[in-house]
Amino acid sequence: MNLLRTLELEHMKPSIPDFGIGDSVEVHYLIKEGDKERVQLFSGTVISLQGAGPRRSATIRRLVSGEGVERTFPLHSPRVADIQVKERGIIRRAKLYYLRDREGKSTRLNPNLGKLQHPRSRKGDGKQASKAKAQ
Q: Per-domain residue ranges for the chain?
A: 3-102
Distance set, CA 48 to CA 10, 20, 23, 80 (Å): 25, 8, 10, 17
Residues 2-39 have pLDDT tens digits of 888 888 888 888 888 888 898 899 999 999 999 999 99
Is residue 62 within 8 A of residue 45, CB to CB? The reply is yes
Whether the full predicted model's pTM is greater than 0.85, yes or no, is no
Fold of 3-102: SH3 type barrels. (2.30.30)
Is residue 18 within 8 A of residue 45, CB to CB? The reply is no
- Cα–Cα distance between 119 and 19 in angstroms, integer? 8
Residues 113-124 have pLDDT tens digits of 776 655 665 555
Q: Is residue 67 pLDDT above 90, yes or no? A: no
pLDDT on residue 118: 58
Q: Is residue 131 pLDDT above 70, yes or no? A: no
Residues 77-105 have pLDDT tens digits of 889 999 999 988 888 888 998 888 887 77
More confidently predicted of 93 and 130: 93
Which residues make Cβ contacts (< 8 Å) with residue 131, sequence separation at least 6?
none
